[in-house]
Chains A and B, each alone.
Chain A
Amino acid sequence: MSDAVWVLGTSMTRFGRYPELDAVDLASRACMDALADGGVTIHDMDVMGAGTLFQAQTGMGQRVQKQIGQTGIPVYNVTNACATGATAIRTVYLSIKAGEAQMGLAFGVEQMGKMGLLRGGAKAEEKVFEAAGRYGAVTGVDGILGTETMPGVFAQAGMEYACDYEGVGFEQFARVAYKNHQHSTLNPLAQYRKEFSMEEIMGSPVQSYPNTLLMCCPTGDGAAAVVLISEERLRSMPTEVQKRAVKISASVLTSDPWVESGQVQPDINTLTRNAAAKAYEIAGVGPEDLDLVELHDCFATAELVHYDNLGLCEPGGAGEFIDSGGPFRDGRTPVNVSGGLISKGHPIGATGVANVYEVTTHLRGEAGDRQIEGAKVGLTHVIGLGSACGIHILEKAAA
């Protein structure tokens, strides 16, 4: 018997704005629905992984337990920037791999409201300049020594790729957003479900060129959850339950290896490439085997470089890949058929769980209008700046 870990149940709230609820409500809903989806209860769980970024110090796992069932199991409250959700999953995955648990619940949640632009501090007028911090800065440097804002940082990641390779520019980045907005119209759980023309996308207000407003993910609220189970325990479940289970063929988390430019610009490439190489090796699959990919398109410029980082295109060929329709839902490797972060939304802690929900739903053949027919293998990818990269490869259960 293999020691594989499987997804038994999964759920997500629609991403959006929930001013009438709090993060505990959102997480509880996702958790209860994921348990019900797997045909189990909180009393079957041996471990809990709880992910949130902005409420990381509030004991989120324990707060959710008080809503859905306090059974005394270990709770790991985790935070890892935008890779928080994937880290929560991996925490439960490792507990099962280690033999400490047979079943566990992982969730990610965030309630951001209309938080607006992330990072980049407001300019303060210093009364007296005084060196502070590791760089001995006498004032805020955002806007003076480059940008610290997320749309700008990720714009630069895309423009560096454009510097190195032909055929990549504003239009290719815009086409990524065009695709994801179009995909989201089929996803009832997406925060936005509106298609935009290329002209509308390229003509929307520029945030950080080349990223316009419609090329940036929104802030929002939402939660997602998964129930994981050991292979041994799964085999004791009813046949119908086993048929819907999805195998986690690889679960990988990486951080930044040293690169020369890493001290001045987050390197979203190297740790993704390392994670992908390791995940493909563990799963015994290659990028050509993937039927769908949910990757971290916090900005259109980010998605494009990850085509290359994940091996979905030839080296340097990300521009040609999007231009030829490769990542569209009817293309060679559909990417972000959920609408991606750009249109499905990006409640940060929830994202790395929600993309596992999405791929699992397709592998089960239960994705409704947005179903990728015959999907057997899928990959999820998230990046948290700092950095952390989480990749999961999921496979449909053998019939």
Chain B
Amino acid sequence: MTEEATEAVEIPTQLPIVEYLRIGDDPHLAANECTNCQARFFDRRNACAKCGREEFTSVRVADDATLRSFSIVYRAAPGIPVPYVSAIVLTDDGTSVRANVVGLDDPMKAELGMRLRFTTFSCGTDDNGTDCVAFGYAAA
């Protein structure tokens, strides 16, 4: 038997829905920020789309945000619960984020310009019992 085969595979209890969501004691979003022009990206970039430089650093994205735009989605692909409030929010440090507005008892209560705060929630469990953690924004 190889050494690898004898090693116990550690099954995580939780996984973030996307890598730019950091979970744990202090859940938050993290962006790759260009060290030259401070443009932020949630995915990895070969070079900065704004200035072309190649150095990035990971930064925390602010939790507080304002609702810049939204749509109340009533028609979606099969299996996706509707209605939900899809949103573009602008965090207080100037980063645009796409997520749902969560926690409204009536989706029509979403209002342009409303204050929001980052939150996380569980969105499913796989066959290993691993919990998928997603994020959204709730009315502040």
- Which A residues form the contact surface with B (CB < 8 A)? 117, 120-129, 131, 134-139, 141-147, 149, 151-153, 155-157, 159-160, 162-163, 205-211, 258, 260-261, 263-265
A157, B88: Cα distance in complex, Å: 10
Chain B residue nearest in CB terms to A211: B71
Total number of B residues with any Cβ neighbor in A under 8 Å: 55
Contact with A along B71-82 (1 / 0, CB 8 A): 111111111111
**In residues 51-82 of chain B, which contact A (Cβ within 8 Å)?**
67-82
Q: Say whether, besides A122-B77, A156-B88, A260-B96, A137 and B17 are in contact (CB < 8 Å).
A: yes
Residues of the B chain whose Cβ atoms lie less than 8 Å from the Cβ of A146: 86-88, 98-100
Contact of A260 among B20, B44, B94, B112 (CB under 8 A): B94
Contact B84 A143 (CB under 8 A): yes
- B contact residues around A126 at 8 Å (CB): 124, 126
Query: Can you name 14 A-B residue pairings with CB atoms under 8 Å?
Result: A120-B80, A123-B77, A126-B126, A129-B15, A141-B134, A144-B100, A145-B99, A156-B70, A160-B88, A163-B68, A207-B73, A263-B43, A264-B88, A265-B96
Q: Is the CB of A127 within 8 A of B127?
A: yes
Contacts A128-B127, A146-B99 hold; do A156 and B78 have CB atoms under 8 A apart?
Answer: no
- How close is A130's CB to chain B, nearest CB, in angstroms? 9
Which of B43, B67, B76, B97 sits near A142, CB closer than 8 Å? B76
A265: chain B residues at CB < 8 Å are 69, 88, 96, 98
Chain B residue with Cβ nearest A213 = B75
Query: Which residues 19-33 of B have a CB within 8 angstroms of A?
Result: 19-20
Min distance, Cβ A116 to any Cβ of chain B, angstroms: 9
* Chain A positions within 8 Å of B42 at CB level: 135, 263-264
For residue A144, which residues in chain B have a CB less than 8 angstroms away from its CB? 17, 100, 123, 134
Q: How far is the CA of A151 from the CA of B98 in the complex (A)?
A: 16
Could you tell me the distance between the alpha carbons of A146 and B39 in the complex, rounded to whole angstroms?
A: 22
> In the bound complex, how far is the Cα of B129 from the Cα of A129, in angstroms?
10
**A142 & B77 in contact (Cβ 8 Å cutoff):** yes
Option from B17, B70, B73, B112 in Cβ contact (under 8 Å) with A145: B17
Task: Report the nearest B residue to A260, measured CB to CB.
Answer: B96
- A264 to B71 Cα, complex, angstroms: 14
The answer to whether B134 touches A145, judged by C-beta atoms less than 8 angstroms apart, is: yes
Establish whether residues A122 and B79, one from each chain, have CB atoms under 8 Å apart when the complex forms: yes
Point out the residues of chain B lying under 8 angstroms from A163, CB to CB.
67-69, 112-113
Interface residues of B in 89-140 (CB under 8 A from A): 90, 94-100, 107, 112-113, 123-124, 126-128, 130, 132, 134-136
CB closest residue in chain B, given A301: B71
Residue pair A151, B86 in contact (C-beta under 8 Å):
no
**Is A156 in contact with B18, judged by CB distance below 8 angstroms?**
no
Which residues of the partner chain A approach B99 to less than 8 Å between Cβ atoms? 145-146
**Contact A206/B74 with A261-B88, A264-B88 known, Cβ cut-off 8 Å:** yes
Asked if A147 meets B76 with Cβ closer than 8 Å, knowing A127-B126, A129-B130, the reply is yes
Q: How far apart are A108's CB and chain B's nearest CB, in angstroms?
A: 27
Do B126 and A263 have beta carbons less than 8 Å apart? no
- Using A136-B19, A143-B81 as known contacts, list a sample of 20 further A-B pairs with CB atoms less than 8 Å apart, ordered by residue number in A: A117-B76, A122-B79, A126-B126, A136-B20, A137-B19, A138-B132, A144-B123, A146-B87, A146-B100, A147-B71, A151-B73, A156-B88, A160-B88, A207-B73, A208-B72, A209-B72, A211-B71, A260-B94, A263-B96, A265-B96
